[in-house]
A = this chain, B = another copy of it.
Amino acid sequence: MTGTASRPTLEAVAARAGVSRATASRVVNGGDGVREPLVERVRRAVEELGYVPNQAARSLVTRRHDAVAVVIAEPETRVFADPFFALQLRGISKELTAHDSQLVLLLTEGRDDHVRVGRYLAGGHVDGALVFSLHLDDPLPGLIHGAGVPTVFGGRPGWGDGPRDAVPTVYVDCDNRGGARDAVRHLVGLGRTRIAHITGPLDQTSAADRLDGFRDVMVDVDPALIAEGDFTPAGGERAMRELLERRPDVDAVFAANDLSAAGALRVLRERGRRVPDDVAVIGFDDMLPVAEQTDPPLTTVRQDIEEIGRLMARLLLRRLDRAADEGPVGAPSSVVLPTTLVRRASA
């Protein structure tokens, strides 16, 4: 399997299948008008010989690789520890597969490796990129911009909705602020008055927007009722301990995601606080099975994470088609999906 191994040719496929070269070519290139038994024979020959069409040569003509890069601006360890990413990738994978486009996931150990990711994107290996979990000081957007590949972002990027260098930013997100408002209003409706918030990492817009939503309802809130988390269960535990220390009278918590809510629930149980009687708890995401398996099961703000992934891929593919057909034209616009409050036992 070195570079010197000779590749099977289309002629060899045709000979093995007992058909003409033209017929073999039609089958391999997805054309119509070949009878099913012949298609079957060619396919079998392709598989037996391990024939692969010369994609590099074909790319030179079409300038398409039928491949889309996915970049998650988190270290590889978090990508596999947080089910959020698996869900988003599932949506992306289904959509790309349906369009016979290869999902190319570029993993990194950390932010230091983003220059290398930019290099790969600039190297002409993919048609476009899907990027998510950006942080405010991330070098990635600049690198992607430099690489000149069409991109759709998961989550509103931190530089705002407006155009950047005359190229409109396209993203898919849920209504983080509105969802947060719904959660806090629900707690207010339960008669709670000392409502705390465990934030996500505030260098991400999703976390900042959820905090804004909390403040929309809790105007003039005591700052001691806001503790910074990081979207992980351990961060939720830490934040809950801080809150109990600063405001032992806290009677409700809105956590910025389900994982940190799960951490908060563990600390409350440890301290003998009953949920929801003493402290009501709401999360965000409706991440399954997490949200159903907490004790008690979690009331939360649902967003359709898999659908966000699917939409990201769909918008990018549409953009690539347009680019191929008409040259660079206006990109499709961003999409913000609504959220819904899911009531379980915790609030």
Q: Does A259 contact B (CB under 8 A)?
A: no
Is the CB–CB distance between B106 and A47 below 8 Å?
no
On whether A97 and B125 interact (CB within 8 A), knowing A3-B328, A49-B142, A323-B2, the answer reads no
On whether A1 and B148 interact (CB within 8 A), knowing A113-B97, A117-B102, A125-B65, the answer reads yes
Is the CB–CB distance between B109 and A93 below 8 Å?
yes
Residues from chain B with a CB closer than 8 A to the CB of A145 are 1, 5, 50
From residue 135 to 167 of chain A, which have CB atoms closer than 8 A to chain B?
139, 141-151, 165, 167
Taking the closest CB of chain B, its distance from the CB of A28, in whole angstroms, is 10
Is the CB–CB distance between B90 and A76 below 8 Å?
yes
Is the CB–CB distance between A5 and B139 below 8 Å?
no
Taking the closest CB of chain B, its distance from the CB of A243, in whole angstroms, is 27
Is the CB–CB distance between A119 and B52 below 8 Å?
yes
Q: Does A118 contact B (CB under 8 A)?
A: yes
Q: Quick one: closest B residue to A76, CB to CB? A: B93
Q: Does A94 contact B (CB under 8 A)?
A: yes
Residues from chain B with a CB closer than 8 A to the CB of A51 are 146
Docked CA distance A331–B4 (Å): 13
- Looking at chain A, what size class is its interface with the partner chain? 35 or more
Docked CA distance A119–B145 (Å): 27
* The stretch of A54-62, A199-207, A338-346 that contacts the partner chain: A54-62
From residue 64 to 78 of chain A, which have CB atoms closer than 8 A to chain B?
65-67, 76-77
On whether A148 and B116 interact (CB within 8 A), knowing A80-B89, A104-B106, the answer reads no
Is the CB–CB distance between B120 and A56 below 8 Å?
no
Q: Quick one: closest B residue to A170, CB to CB? A: B1
Residues from chain B with a CB closer than 8 A to the CB of A106 are 102-105
Residues from chain B with a CB closer than 8 A to the CB of A50 are 118, 139, 141-146
Docked CA distance A117–B104 (Å): 10
Interface residue from B3, B5, B115, B331 paired with A165 (Cβ < 8 Å): B5
Interface residue from B76, B125, B144, B147 paired with A89 (Cβ < 8 Å): B76
Taking the closest CB of chain B, its distance from the CB of A93, in whole angstroms, is 5
Q: Does A8 contact B (CB under 8 A)?
A: yes
Smallest CB-CB A-B distances: 6 pairs? A50-B142, A50-B146, A80-B86, A55-B123, A105-B105, A52-B122
Given A3-B150, A102-B117, 11 additional A-B pairs, CB 8 A: A1-B149, A1-B151, A2-B167, A7-B146, A51-B146, A55-B119, A65-B120, A80-B80, A80-B89, A89-B107, A104-B120
- Partner-B contacts on A (CB < 8 A): 1-5, 7-8, 46-56, 59, 65-67, 76-77, 80-81, 83, 86, 89-90, 93-94, 97, 100, 102-109, 113, 115-125, 139, 141-151, 165, 167, 323, 328, 331
